[in-house]
Amino acid sequence: MGKNPQSRAGFTLVEVAIVLLVVTILLGYTVALFPIQQDLKKSRQAEHELDQIVEQLIAFAQVNGRLPCPDTDVGAPDGLENVDSDPTLGCDGFFGFLPGRTLGMNGNFDNGGRLLDPWGTGYGYAVSDVDSGDGNIDFVVANNIRVEGLSNVTADLSICDDSPVLGNQTDCTAAGSNDVIVDVAAVVISLGKDRGTIASNIQAENTDDFGAGAMDDKVFIFSTRSDVSGAEFDDVVKWLPTNQLFSRMIEAGQLP
């Protein structure tokens, strides 16, 4: 019998066109997802680097009996801590850039010496400026936690879940939000992809006095990522609770 011409092998032009259309759609979808995947990759990198920074802060305290001061050289940050001329005050300011060079960090530094996050912005760093009563700032004056006694030292930084009330707030209640964690000795921040330029209420709280010397605001925000207009949030925030700090300092013989 002769072969049926309709059963011959191969694809018709219609079938080829359908395959090409499907491939084009899949490629377009992949290309559209690529920037999102890159952002997520950078966020994971920032998370990892901030975890390393917290460990390095602990290591510094284990050696020196205190936490480092921020880099508060606003005009020309150099990655070095700025210590006050009065040793009882500890720091020149309590919120600024991470003193990455003082900590001996590895990573991407700018020409001035700031340690940069995956988006090219300097990591922010805040440390508690509480004084439990002897006239010395507890967490940044060497051996002062030991002098005061563990039960007498409580940090004054708080991590909150929102901040509908902007300004210099002392705690989450004053900021109109709920506690994520209180009694925080230090906070480290990446301002994310938008580099803090989107002034939503929930993000603006993390840029108060960013890179400046004095810090009157004790509230920082930790929340889920959001692209909702007016409530954008892409900051990456890590913190060092006092109980974790004290435990690790005890291990190193710096406390009690």
pLDDT over 90 percentage in the chain: 56
Residue 256, domain member (yes or no): no
Residue 186, domain member (yes or no): yes
* H or E stretch covering 26: helix 13-64
Residue 10 has pLDDT above 70, yes or no: no
165: confidence class by pLDDT, cuts 50, 70, 90: confident
Residue 2, domain member (yes or no): no
Residue 3, domain member (yes or no): no
107 neighbors 100 (Cβ within 8 angstroms): yes
- pLDDT tens-digit map of 194-217: 887 877 878 888 886 665 555 678
Residue 4, domain member (yes or no): no
* 33 φ/ψ angles, rounded to the nearest 5 degrees: -80, -20
Query: What was the pLDDT predicted at 213?
Result: 52
- In which domain, by residue range, is 246 found? 13-251
32: confidence class by pLDDT, cuts 50, 70, 90: low
Residues 6+ apart with CB under 8 A from 130: 137, 138, 139, 153, 154, 155, 156
Query: What was the pLDDT predicted at 20?
Result: 84
Query: What was the pLDDT predicted at 181?
Result: 95
Query: What was the pLDDT predicted at 199?
Result: 72
- pLDDT tens-digit map of 215-237: 678 999 999 888 888 888 899 99
* H or E stretch covering 238: strand 236-241
Question: Of 139, 112, 126, whose CA–CA distance to 209 is shortest?
Answer: 126
Question: Of 242, 178, 186, whose CA–CA distance to 218 is shortest?
Answer: 186
Into how many domains does the chain fold? 1
**Residue type, position 100, single letter:** G
Residue 122 has pLDDT above 60, yes or no: yes
Residue 103, domain member (yes or no): yes
Residue 29 has pLDDT above 90, yes or no: no
